[in-house]
Amino acid sequence: MAKPMTKTQLVAALADEMGTDKKTAGTALDAVTAIITREVSGGGAVTLPGVGKIYCRERPERMVRNPATGEQIKKEADKVVKMTIAKALKDSVNG
C-alpha cells in the first residue's frame, strides 16, 4: 500500500493543478477544510462531487467491553463522522 499524501504534497499538487502558487493553494485547502468542519459539526453534511459525502451520525448509548479486564461498561451516546464514497470514485479505483 502506498504512503498517504501529506498536506504539503497535497498543497503542491493543488497549486500545480490550479496553476497558482502554494500559498494560495494552501489557503484554499484550509478554507475548504474549515467549511467542511463547520458544516459537519453543526449536524449538516457536505457532498464533494466525485469523491463522496461527509456527514455526522449519532450513535446510541450501548454496552462495551473493556479488553483488559473483560468488564462490561455503559458507553454514553456520542457522534461519529462518516463518509460515503461516491460511485464515480469507486469505479475509477476498481476499473
Q: How far apart are CA 39 and CA 45, in angstroms?
A: 6
Q: How far apart are CA 32 and CA 82, in angstroms?
A: 17
Q: Are 22 and 51 in the same domain?
A: no
Q: Are 50 and 95 in the same domain?
A: yes
Provide the 10 A C-beta neighbour count for residue 89.
13
* CATH code where residue 65 lies: 4.10.520.10
Tens of pLDDT along 40-51? 999 999 999 999
pTM of the model: 0.79
Tens of pLDDT along 52-91? 999 999 999 999 999 999 999 999 999 999 999 999 999 9
Counting Cα atoms < 13 Å in the Cβ hemisphere of 32 gives: 12
Number of helical (H) and strand (E) elements in the chain, helices listed first: 3, 5
Q: Are 69 and 82 in the same domain?
A: yes
pLDDT of residue 95: 82
**Number of domains forming the structure of the chain:** 2
